[in-house]
Amino acid sequence: MDAGGKLCRRNVKYPSLNNFARQQPFNLGDFAPMKSVCSSHIGLVALSVVLAALIFITQNGAAEPSPGKFSVQTRDFTLNFEAEAGGRLYQHPIGADDPNAKLRRDDEFYPQAGDGYVWEPALQVTHADGNTSTALLFDDVLQTNETPDVELTRIQLHDPAYPMEVTLCFRAHRQDDVIEEWTEIRHQESKPITLERMASTSLLLTPNVYLTHFFGDWAKEMLNPITGQLTPGTEVLDSKLGVRAAQFQNPNFLLSLNGTATETNGTVLAGSLAWSGSFQLAFDDNNESVRAICGINPFASAYHLKPNETFTTPTMIWVWSSHGLGEMSRKFHDWARDFGMRDGRKTRSVLLNNWEATGFDFDFNRIVGLYDPAKALGVELFLLDDGWFGNKYPRVNDHAGLGDWQPNHSRLPDGLAPLAATAVQHGLRFGIWMEPEMVNPNSELFQEHPDWVIAQPKRDLDLQRNQLVLDLTRPEVQAFEWQSIQNILGVPDITYAKWDCNRYVTQPGSSYLAPDRQSELWIDYVHALYALMDKTAKAFPDTEMMLCSGGGGRADYGALKYFQEFWPSDNTDPVARVPMQWDYSYFFPPIAIASHVTHMGNRPMHFACSVAMSARFGMDLDLNKLSPEDKAVCAGAIAAYKNIREITLPGDLYRLEDPHDNFRGALNFVSPDKTRAVVFAFQLKDGESVPVHPQGLDPAKVYLVHELNPAPGRAAIPQEGKSLTGETLMRDGILPSCSKALEASVIELGL
């Protein structure tokens, strides 16, 4: 070990493990370095290499692991690794009973293609000389405490035949039982190497794993959870959309070990890939173990890595619970509020969006006309949606204007500033919609720069929603988008923005990238996008941002860290939102899930408001057209929401009654100090009036029961006004006021 704590790890030859078939378990202790040829101090260095590989550095007081074995550990979740000097790195499958079980070649961690491993690899490289094999040998592991609760583990590997290094990184959040995992790859070969596949993770589990994943489509995001036992073979879930993670398949999934899990029982591992582009989640079951290999989709994405550059994979987020899905989500939410999103501990303003109210049909006066009624109702923030820009090609419908980010002269003669200033004069914050990555062919931008779009030469332009994606790998496009964003968000009094992305890539061609680098478009695009989002978040720290992608196409933690919330779906029908928001809540805290009251589905206003109140509440209604009755319901909902948002936004979520194929959905939130709670019951079909049983209350505390914003004409709930202990409430339940389809009940349990 040198003075800086680095370990000598070069020039040592080790026995090849290539001949180990999977039927031949071996004891890692059987291996020893054959020969050391460090250029100087041979004997000493040889010794230090052996020692270095056997000694695992632990800093800042963490426990000293045994030689050859080490683990990445949170409170309840442990990844056990094993390696020997100069040998390969192995993982004991999660769920394995015997931590001393003999390991097999199949148990190699982060397996590489081309040198003996025959299953789905985590890494596949073509070296500068054309060799398609890679072998990774263990060098050392470094564990450091980033904070008292967060430990970073960096496992160093190298290829003995090539100057290539791989660092496997794990950030363990002890209290939240969350492990973030990613990989760094670099080399000093004479020319670029080609990364054919480079997974973020390759965790091994014992068999008998159930996978829950979510297939959907536009307006059907997360509505269709599918659970099944993994069987031998490889199950692949993926997306090939380029500039967004999801439309059909979602990058979030659940694994339950030893049988399916319930909200309160079962061992669960939730996985979420933080990547807003094409992804692949492969579950490789070889009968002996199951491997989850998740990362960037290798499909058409060969990446040329130059010498001395580091490729960092997207982060995989793993969340563990031994007590079912509910506990898993509460830990996930806690982690997300602190590390996965912006301002996860700040409250949120009640928002009114004009999209459902006006669509593209508005001008200055029509928008200003919405302010007074909004303020009167209790709204705190107004969001102006699509349609405010474009002059030669005005954005009066979705056929024109994208790319021309100048306010439309006839609609907004003095630009955005007076609109924002007037909102502030009316006591409202002001927000704006933008879609900086897109262009309509009917735009001045496209006419000036037809080569700036992602398209394939010799093919007709493939439009989606009449638009094209700008090629963010091109520096001029990066500069243009950054300038557009600054121009828009720099307008005084704009403190909120919705960043949209209404199409995906169908013709992955770049006129900027050289012909032999076309396959890098998918990855370089997302990296450039994150650079832009990062700059935006840093330059406008007080501007709250909503992440939207034609609905929920970017509901992923890769982008969310630059945003305060995401738009889960263009489907705002509350009947769909009850199960949809239930499913999103496995992975995302309700503070991040935008939930707006609209007329979609023509549901009763009380039901629509109650559903929206269970996440990040907003409205998308023409308030001037509401009946007096609906207006009163909305005003009551806003007042109630302002009362309970200090419970729902930072609080613990308990999912009580699954709305999928059920007559009712129910959940409750408990404030962090357990002094307050709120129960939601959403009646989806007519049913018997049965109590809802809240969870997570303090059994000894006394709670005052009070239905919030009760639906007009319904009898008070039997426990209204009663003070009951948490124990009684959890045991006997609360009878909500809803029993008929499309009725809802929101009940506060307070001081």
Residues that bind ligand GLA (CB under 6 A): 355, 385-386, 433, 500, 502, 548, 550-551, 567, 570
- Those residues with Cβ within 8 angstroms of residue 318's Cβ, 6 or more apart along the chain or in another chain: 77, 178, 179, 180, 181, 201, 203, 269, 270, 271
Distance CA 282, CA 230 (A): 11
The three-state DSSP-derived secondary structure of 648-696 is HCCCEEEEEECCCCCCEEEEEEECCCCCCEEEEEEECCCCCCCCECCCC
- Smallest gap from Cβ 384 to ligand GLA, in A, equals 10
Amino acid letter, 336: A
**How far apart are alpha carbons 667 and 679 in whole angstroms?**
6
CB of 729 to ligand GLA, least distance (A): 38
Distance CA 681, CA 473 (A): 48
Q: What is the DSSP letter of 710?
A: P
> Shortest gap between Cβ of 466 and ligand GLA (angstroms)?
11
**What is the rounded distance in angstroms from the CA atom of residue 681 to the CA atom of residue 67?**
54
Q: How far apart are CA 143 and CA 165, in angstroms?
A: 18
Question: What's at 639, amino acid-wise?
Answer: A
Distance of closest approach, residue 315 Cβ to ligand GLA, in angstroms: 26
Q: Judging by DSSP bridges, how do beta strands 351-353 and 381-384 pair with one another?
A: parallel
* Residues annotated as catalytic (active site), given as ranges: 500, 570
Closer to ligand GLA at the Cβ: 282 or 470?
Answer: 470
Q: Which residue has the tokens 């989850």?
A: 292
- DSSP-based three-state secondary structure for 286: coil
For ligand GLA, the closer of residues 291 and 498 by Cβ is 498
Q: Torsions phi, psi of 516, nearest 5?
A: -85, 5
Surface-to-core class of residue 713, CB atoms within 10 Å of its CB (0-12 exposed, 13-18 middle, 19+ buried)? exposed
Q: What residue number has its CB nearest to ligand GLA?
A: 386
Q: How far is the CB of 432 from ligand GLA (least distance, A)?
A: 11
Smaller CB distance to ligand GLA: residue 502 or 695? 502
* Nearer to ligand GLA (CB atom), residue 122 or residue 623: 623
Q: How far apart are CA 289 and CA 185, in angstroms?
A: 26
Q: How far is the CB of 556 from ligand GLA (least distance, A)?
A: 16
CB 126 within 8 A of CB 217: no
Judged by beta carbon, residue 501 or residue 575, the one nearer ligand GLA is 501
Closest Cα partner for 213 from 259, 251, 159, 266?
A: 251
Q: Based on CB atoms, which residue is closest to ligand GLA, 105 or 554?
A: 554
Instruction: Dig out the tokens for 494 from the structure.
Output: 């704009």
Of 623 and 708, nearer to ligand GLA (C-beta) is 623
CB of 390 to ligand GLA, least distance (A): 13
